Amino acid sequence: MGDDAFTDINGKSISLDCQSHSSLCREFIVSSPKVSIGKVMVYTCCVWLVAYAVFFFTENTAVLSSAILITLVGMMLHIHFVKVDHESLLVVGSLGIQLSSSYASGRETTTFIERSKIKDIVINEAIYMHQIIYYLCVLLKEPSEPNAVSSVVPLFQSSKPRLNCLEKVYRSCQEVLSKC
């Protein structure tokens, strides 16, 4: 158990929370920072200033009310679909791996991968925009050929932690998975 501070690929601080429920079951929670109030202010002010400028020329009050509506709806959509509050990885030896990400509004999406479908967990490299990043991913088995990899499921997609954080998660995962 422990709560450690790491940084993601952009240098923002994220925290990794490792919980060991038993020797067979570990949970890793990567939480990203909350939405900063300054950013919200900047976006809101931008929309409203533009709306006020349009209102100044057209003298139509519908512009202002629609600007308020747009800001509110935009914020709701952002926290419901875009902003991920924390991502968690639950590794249960001999049962499987569960990935879940919960959004800032409380919505949660979960997928569970059975142990029999998992080939391995590895750290991989990828070219992302103009940089090379590391990411943790689950390799899935091809049902017909046991040695082939059918697909790759990347972990911690929205909060992209750096290598030192990934290594820690990787070691504990392998420890749990190798036990059975």
Partner 1 sequence: MVLKIFFPQCCNRADSGLLVGRWIDGHDSAVVLAVVHYPFIPGQVKLYIQQMQAQSGVELTVLGSWSLPKDGQEGMESFLRDLSTIFPQERWLQISRETGKTGFSCDILDQNGVALQKVKKKEKSDGEEEADDEEEEEKVIFVHYEQRKVMLSQLHPVENGVPDSETAPPSELRQMFRTVARSQPLFFLDRYDDGPLKSTHWQSEGREGSIIVELLKQATVPLCLLVGWLLSLWTWFCNVRVFSLLPFRFLSSKLSSCVQLSYRTEHVRTLSSSRPAAGHTEFMRKANIVVSLLVDVALGLLLISWLYRDNHITMVANTLVPAADRVAKELEDLLQWLMGAPAGLKMNRALDQVLGRFFLYHIHLWISYIHLMSPFVERILWYGGLSACLGLTFALSLLSDMVALLTFHIYCFYVYGARLYCLKIYGLSSLWRLFRGKKWNVLRQRVDSCSYDLDQLFIGTLLFTVLLFLLPTTALYYLVFTLLRLVVVLVQGVVHLTVDFINSFPLFAVCLRICRPYRLAEGVKFRVLCEEPGTALHLLMEMNPLKCNTVVHTYRMPTYSCYPKDSWMGLVKKLFVGELVYPWRHKNTKTD
From the CB of 23, what's the least distance to partner 1, in Å?
6
Query: What is the rounded CA–CA span in Å between residue 27 and residue 33?
Result: 19
Token digits of residue 3: 């709560």
Paired sense of beta strands 96-103 and 84-92, if any = antiparallel
From the CB of 159, what's the least distance to partner 1, in Å?
20
**CB under 8 A: which stretch of 5-13, 59-67, 68-76, 92-100 binds partner 1?**
92-100
**CB under 8 A: which stretch of 7-15, 17-25, 34-42, 121-129 binds partner 1?**
17-25
The nearer residue to partner 1, 23 or 65, going by C-beta atoms, is 23
Output 8-16 pairs: Cβ under 8 A, ≥24 positions apart: 8/32, 8/159, 8/160, 8/161, 8/162, 9/128, 9/131, 9/133, 9/160, 9/161, 9/162, 10/160, 14/159, 14/161, 14/165, 16/161, 16/165, 16/168, 16/169
Paired sense of beta strands 13-22 and 118-128, if any = unpaired
**Is residue 79 at the binding interface for partner 1, with CB under 8 A as the rule?**
no
User: How far from each other are the two terminal CA atoms of the chain, in whole angstroms?
Assistant: 22
From the CB of 170, what's the least distance to partner 1, in Å?
21
Quick one: how many helices (H) and strands (E) in the chain?
3, 9
**Is residue 25 at the binding interface for partner 1, with CB under 8 A as the rule?**
yes
How many residues bind to partner 1 according to rule CB under 8 A? 24
Q: Which of 13, 143, 149, 152 lies at the binding interface for partner 1 (CB under 8 A)?
A: 143
Q: Which of 15, 17, 18, 27 lies at the binding interface for partner 1 (CB under 8 A)?
A: 27
**Is residue 66 at the binding interface for partner 1, with CB under 8 A as the rule?**
no
Per the rule left: phi > 0, alpha: psi between -120 and 50, beta: everything else, 40 is alpha
**Is residue 110 at the binding interface for partner 1, with CB under 8 A as the rule?**
yes
Q: Which of 36, 131, 144, 147 lies at the binding interface for partner 1 (CB under 8 A)?
A: 144
Binding site for partner 1 (CB under 8 A): 21-25, 27, 90, 92-95, 98, 100, 110-112, 114-117, 143-144, 179-180
